[in-house]
Amino acid sequence: MLLTTTDLSVEYEVLGIVRGNRVKAAHLGRDIMAGFKNLVGGEVKEYADLLTSVRDSAMDDMVNEAKDKGANAIIGIRFASSQIASGMAEILVYGTAVKI
């Protein structure tokens, strides 16, 4: 499946908007480690790994929704994130499912 953040300069049939979203809470152990890193500075790898995992899962959901529509590409992909509650984040990914 072709995934792109831009439009295509080929003919395609628009099948509709597809999306994937996941909400994930941080683990208490990760919060403690992140708190220590906050004191001394540096990358908070625990949160970076968590968000990468959540983003990948949301992408998988979007791709599966596009496949269900018969798409072979998703164009105009965008990401959004928000904090739902303390220690909880949502990642949303969306785009337009098309058939080339």
Q: How far apart are the first and last CA of the chain?
A: 11
| Structural domains in the chain, sorted by start | 2-99 (3.30.110.70)
Q: What is the mean pLDDT for each group of 10 consecutive residues in the chain (100 residues)?
A: 88 94 68 57 71 90 97 95 75 95
Residue 25 is predicted with a pLDDT of: 73
- Confidence (pLDDT) at 77: 96
What is the DSSP-derived secondary structure letter of residue 89? E
Quick one: pLDDT at residue 57? 92
Check residue 63 and give its pLDDT.
Answer: 97
pLDDT computed for residue 88 by the predictor? 73
Q: What is the pLDDT of residue 54?
A: 87
What pLDDT does residue 44 have? 66
Give me the pLDDT at residue 100, please.
Answer: 93
8 Å CB contact between 72 and 3: no
Rg of the chain (C-alpha set): 17
CA geometry: angle 82, 88, 89, nearest 5 deg: 30
68 membership: H or E segment, kind and range = helix 45-68
Give the pTM. 0.77
